[in-house]
Each structure stands twice: as structure tokens, then as C-alpha cells.
């Protein structure tokens, strides 16, 4: 009888927390099993972000993302992850009401997706909820600055923390760290503020548009791969132009179909003699 393959151990939230001040944490989003396998080979942390609503479902914002969507994509990603720490977003409306509501939904998310942590948005007002979850065995990643679930209250996807508002964002990050978050995402902040928060809190900061001095970086994988040529936020570097290449390939395929050059004999089956 063959031996059961040994299951690889994913990086834990504690291991990510221990990276504070060390080698920067490489993080990308993933929403499907094939993409998760690609990201897992190189990154330390994979985030199943509620950005899935915009990237894969065509929603105008993350507001319409549901628990069922996050569980569906969380399960898919988990099947492709063996090394990276896996974190899944709590969607809008699933945790803001009370710490008890947050625990019920976070526990469900972890049980059904086998992720190692959840992420939630919000600063000082969410510290009690973070503490409640952490005390009950649920690792939490925080998220301050531009919080997409609050885009209507923030007045759009604009830079946060400029001028005196920087003190508020810094206090938000500190409150989450003090409440027990193992890391805090800093989104769309002035570089100097990102550096200040990174210096002042005891857990890793994961930047997205918050400067190079954060303890790690995260991007939406479809953005950095250039899947969508019409979406170019300032904080995204295109490491590939797959959208352009895919568009050209699809056009070439359609041309070959219409001209009957595809399928060719090598793509077809004879009456007998080959499979």
C-alpha cells in the first residue's frame, strides 16, 4: 500500500507577523485554483479579496459581494495553495453590526474555506471586534486608509491621510495592531505616512499604494498582469501585458475559425488509427 503524501504546511499568520522589519512580505490576490497555484509558487501570502466582485463578477464596487461569493472563491483558492498563508476578506455587512456577528461569519468563512485568517476593513471603531475575534482563535488582518467597502462615505477612491488626516489613519492602524491584528493593510496613503505607520506599529504593514517602506506589498493579480488595459491606477506596476496578448490571441483564433484554417488536420480525428 502506498504511503499517504505528506501535506505541506502553509505559512501561518504568526510566521507573517514575525516578518516585521525583515524580508518584505510578497502578497497577491487570487480568486481561482489555477491562479492560486501560480501565486503560491512565489508569494508568502494570498488574499482572496472582495475585489473579486469587480474583477470577476463585473460589479461596480465591492459593496455587492456576499458571504457565498467569498466562500465559493475561498474554497477554489484553497485547493491551489500549499505554501502561502491564505487570508479571505469578510464582505461588506458581514461584521460591522457587532463582534458576535463578526465571529459567526468569520468562523463560517474559516471552516468552509480552510483559510488561516480573515481580513476586515476599518480602524479604531473596529478594534473591539478585532480583539473579540483574536481572543476566540480567529487571526485577523486589518485594513486602513482607503477602505473600498466605505467608498460611498469616503467620497470615492481617493488618497487618504493627507495633512491632519494622517493622525487619524495612524491611530486607526495602531488601534488594530494593539487589538491583536497580525498585520495591517495600508491602502492609498502618502508614502511618508506609510513609512510612519510602519515604524510605529509592532506588526507588519502590507502596502498597496502606501510606499516602498511598508513591511510588504499586495496588488490585485489581474492588475499587475495587465489583464485590463483600461484600468491603470498609479500604484500598480504592470509586470506583464496579458490582456493585450489575450486580445490578440482571441482575434487570431476567430480569424482562423472564419477562414477554416482551424481546426487543421493535426487537430482532427481520422475514422480509425488515432485517438
d(CA 98, CA 132): 10
Catalytic: which of 112, 187, 241, 266? 187
d(CA 275, CA 272): 8
241 labelled as ligand-binding?
no
178 labelled as ligand-binding?
no
119 labelled as ligand-binding?
yes
Has 187 been annotated as catalytic? yes
For 216, the grid coordinates are: 510588504
20 labelled as ligand-binding?
no
d(CA 138, CA 125): 18
Residue by residue, DSSP assigns the chain as -PPPPPPPPPPPHHHHHTTTTSSPEEEEE--SHHHHHHHHTT-SEEEE-TTHHHHTT--SSSTT--HHHHHHHHHHHHTT-SSSEEEEEPPTTSSSS-HHHHHHHHHHHHHHH--SEEE--BSGGGHHHHHHHHHTT--EEEEEES-GGGHHHHTSS-----TTHHHHHHHHHHHHHHHT-SEEEEES--HHHHHHHHHHSSS-EEEESS-TTSSEEEE-HHHHTT--TT---TT---S--HHHHHHHHHHHHHHHHHTT-SS-GGGS--SSS--
Residue 204 φ then ψ, to 5°: -60, 145
Which residues carry a binding-site annotation for Mg(2+)? 50, 89, 121
Return the active site residues.
Answer: 187
Which residues carry a binding-site annotation for 3-methyl-2-oxobutanoate? 50-51, 89, 119
Which residues carry a binding-site annotation? 50-51, 89, 119, 121
Amino acid at each position: 500500500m502506498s504511503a499517504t503524501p505528506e501535506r505541506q504546511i502553509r505559512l501561518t499568520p504568526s510566521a507573517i507577523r514575525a516578518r516585521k522589519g525583515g524580508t518584505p512580505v510578497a502578497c497577491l490576490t487570487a480568486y481561482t485554483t489555477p491562479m492560486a497555484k501560480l501565486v503560491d509558487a512565489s508569494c508568502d501570502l494570498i488574499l482572496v479579496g472582495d475585489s473579486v466582485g469587480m474583477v470577476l463578477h463585473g460589479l461596480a464596487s465591492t459593496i455587492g459581494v456576499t458571504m457565498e461569493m467569498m466562500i465559493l472563491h475561498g474554497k477554489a483558492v484553497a485547493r491551489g495553495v500549499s505554501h502561502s498563508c491564505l487570508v479571505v476578506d469578510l464582505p461588506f455587512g458581514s461584521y460591522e453590526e457587532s463582534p458576535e456577528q463578526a465571529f459567526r461569519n468569520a468562523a463560517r468563512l474559516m471552516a468552509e474555506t480552510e483559510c488561516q485568517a480573515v481580513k476586515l476593513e476599518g480602524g479604531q471603531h473596529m478594534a473591539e471586534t478585532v480583539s473579540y475575534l483574536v481572543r476566540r482563535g480567529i487571526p485577523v488582518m486589518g485594513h486602513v486608509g482607503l477602505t473600498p467597502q466605505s467608498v460611498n462615505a469616503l467620497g470615492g477612491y481617493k488618497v487618504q491621510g493627507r495633512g491632519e488626516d494622517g493622525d487619524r489613519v495612524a491611530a486607526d492602524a495602531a488601534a488594530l495592531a494593539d487589538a491583536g491584528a497580525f498585520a495591517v493593510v495600508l491602502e492609498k496613503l502618502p508614502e511618508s505616512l506609510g513609512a510612519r505607520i510602519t515604524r510605529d506599529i509592532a506588526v507588519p504593514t502590507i502596502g498597496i499604494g502606501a510606499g516602498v517602506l511598508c513591511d510588504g506589498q499586495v496588488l490585485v493579480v489581474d492588475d499587475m498582469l495587465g489583464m485590463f488595459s483600461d484600468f491603470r491606477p498609479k500604484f500598480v506596476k504592470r509586470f506583464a501585458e496579458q490582456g493585450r496578448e489575450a486580445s490578440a490571441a482571441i482575434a487570431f483564433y476567430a480569424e482562423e475559425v472564419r477562414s477554416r484554417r482551424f481546426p487543421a488536420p493535426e487537430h482532427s480525428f481520422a475514422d480509425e488509427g488515432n485517438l
